[in-house]
Chain A
Amino acid sequence: MITRKRLKGVFSRLLMSLLLKKQSVKIGIYGPPNAGKTTLANRIVHTFVDEDEDVGTSTEVPHETRRVIRREGVNIDLTANLLQNPVSNPKTKRSKAKLKLDVIDTPGLATKIDFRDFMAYGLEEEEAKRRAKEATEGVIEAIKWLDDIDGVLLLMDSTEDPYTQTNVVIIGNMEARGMPIIIAANKVDLPDSTPQRIKTAFPQHRVVPISALKGDNIDQLFEAMAKAFR
């Protein structure tokens, strides 16, 4: 027979877990192929979870990520000591920004995928064709995931023209759904990067210039995320 005391214990624990458990927000990292989405997903996990854990592989060959990958339960805590990039801005330490999120790394969105482009990277024809097929499936999967996320981190390569129709279409879809969106202007470590061009192209959205690879300004992005996706 279950004692009343034990029942009470179970009940209170259940109640506590309900009260304390904060739901994760699902944040999709979207953008064109090669923008640095996986590099950023890895950096988020390296910073807040484990320096040795990778979400996925990043390479210079486009459509490296061809399946959506979800890393659940990442606690962004800007008050804690960061493993990497100790927060340089003293204001950040005081703002008690915390956010629990699922990081969703998506395949790069594209309107065309030509297997011949992969052969230019030294892939054999058969492998290039297989990669192209998987890449088309990856794009479809990324689009389907838009229905299941709570916010978008749209990554663009600041050395490239930002005013592409895929960027415009992602933003248009998020606006239509009333979903929060942050644009990260990536690769600002490169000398020919012009993050200002991205700001000019999309003046209605918050644009944070970063280097996912080198870590430049990444704390500012985390702050913006904690604010926008809460």
Chain B
Amino acid sequence: MRLISKGKMESMGSMEKLRFVLDGVKSGNIVVLEGGLTSEEQMKLIELTMIEVSEDFPGIEISGYPSKRGFFNTRRKTRLTVIGPANTIKTIEKSKDLISTLISSN
């Protein structure tokens, strides 16, 4: 599992961030991003993933833990995004403050 701090996230450009995530996931890691990805970035990530889907890499599982919607910001910020390889992650269970990942034992 790779935990990426907010500081590291902010030091990267949008594309660099997505490339970094996808490379991590493709080499078998579960990547946890502090601060998370925006909806637009996640959509871009799905697009990038689809370009790279192959027989050995069927894609990703992605899960977001949104922060509470503020009074003035309508744009929902994600607090945490968890991304993993689809072939090893069965489910990324959702719960408010706890992430439990079930990794299949193969």
**B residues within 8 A CB of A166?**
46
Contact mask for chain B residues 61-84; partner A; CB cutoff 8 A; 1 contact, 0 none: 111101000000011100000000
The secondary structure that dominates the A interface is helix
Residue of B58, B74, B87, B94 with most partner-chain A CB within 10 A: B58
Known: A165-B42, A172-B76. A110 touches B59 (CB 8 A): yes
B55 neighbours in A (Cβ, 8 Å): 115, 129
Q: Of all chain B residues, which has the CB nearest A174?
A: B39
Which residue numbers of A lie inside 8 Å of B, CB to CB?
109-115, 129, 132, 136-137, 139-140, 143, 146, 163, 165-166, 168-173, 175-176
The binding surface of chain B is classed by DSSP as: mixed
Interchain CA distance A196-B49 in the complex, whole Å = 32
User: For chain B, which range describes its interface: under 10, 10 to 19, 20 to 34, or 35 or more residues?
Assistant: 20 to 34
Write the nearest CB–CB distance from B102 to chain A, whole angstroms.
16
**10 tightest A-B contacts by CB?**
A172-B39, A112-B59, A112-B86, A114-B58, A136-B50, A165-B62, A169-B42, A139-B50, A136-B53, A112-B58
Query: Total A-B residue pairs with C-beta atoms closer than 8 Å?
Result: 72
A110 CA to B49 CA, complexed, in Å: 10
Q: Is the CB of B53 within 8 A of A113?
A: yes
A82 to B51, CA, bound (A): 43
Is B86 in contact with A169, judged by CB distance below 8 angstroms?
A: no
